[in-house]
Amino acid sequence: MRSEGCVERAVVLAGGKGTRLRPHTDQTPKPLLPVGGRPILDLMLQRLALSGVKHLTMAVCHLAMQVEERIGDGLRYGMRIDYFHEEKPLGTAGSLALIPDLSGPFLVLNGDVLTDLDFRELAAFHERSNSVLTIATQKRIQRIDFGTIELNGDHLVKSFREKPEVEYLASLGICMADPRVAERIPRGEPMDLPELVGVLIGQEERVSAFPFDGYWRDLGSPREYELANEDFESRRGILSWS
């Protein structure tokens, strides 16, 4: 019997071209870029292994052989790692329809995320929510640098707010999913997570949001990548898990 919060199966999406990080990603896949002297993916896999993951599939495309050569079969992480090769980019959800052995709840996450999120807590929340999909989220506040005007018909001004702050929930690129989620994805066709969520909601499936207020960075932009390296020394104990 599985215990609550058990995370044994995972999928890491590591096939993107990382166009915003060029020229760094012209010769190196984004998940292998170093943070604190170690590949982002290496830090993530160590964390997943400590969370109890036994079997992980890496969805790869851009410079896939580099990922395979660097990561290998997972023996040194204490887990089994295999690879799904995308013949064409399938987005942030499309590959899930083609990956075998997703027979129980599984974790799916982007390969360029640096976080101290406890994946077991996410799994336990997902199980309690009775949802088909649970998305890790974080509250963010965005300040708009201009005065904003709202109209009330016929070009009449309803309100004027000077440099307001907008609060929103950001998706962290980390989810827990049930196997039936993959059944909603057209086989071999690109699909991103927002589209998948729309399909699930349209079919009256439960989709939940897991609130997280710890450390998280999506290393998809030059500024975020720079900040992650700056953060690493002060947070080495929680980000390297060594």
Q: Which positions are annotated as active-site residues?
A: 163
Q: CB of 235 within 8 A of CB of 215?
A: yes
Helix extents (H) in the chain: 24-27, 40-50, 64-71, 119-129, 193-202, 222-239
Q: How far apart are CA 85 and CA 166, in angstroms?
A: 39
Angle (CA) 69-30-83 rounded to 5° is: 40
In terms of Cα–Cα distance, which of 202, 199, 195 is closest to 184? 199
Contact 159, 147 (CB under 8 A): no
Residue 119, CA distances (Å) to 85, 87, 199, 215 in order: 25, 30, 25, 13
Under a CB-based contact definition with an 8 Å cutoff, are residues 81 and 72 in contact? yes
Q: Is the dihedral of CA 228, 221, 56, 122 positive or negative?
A: positive
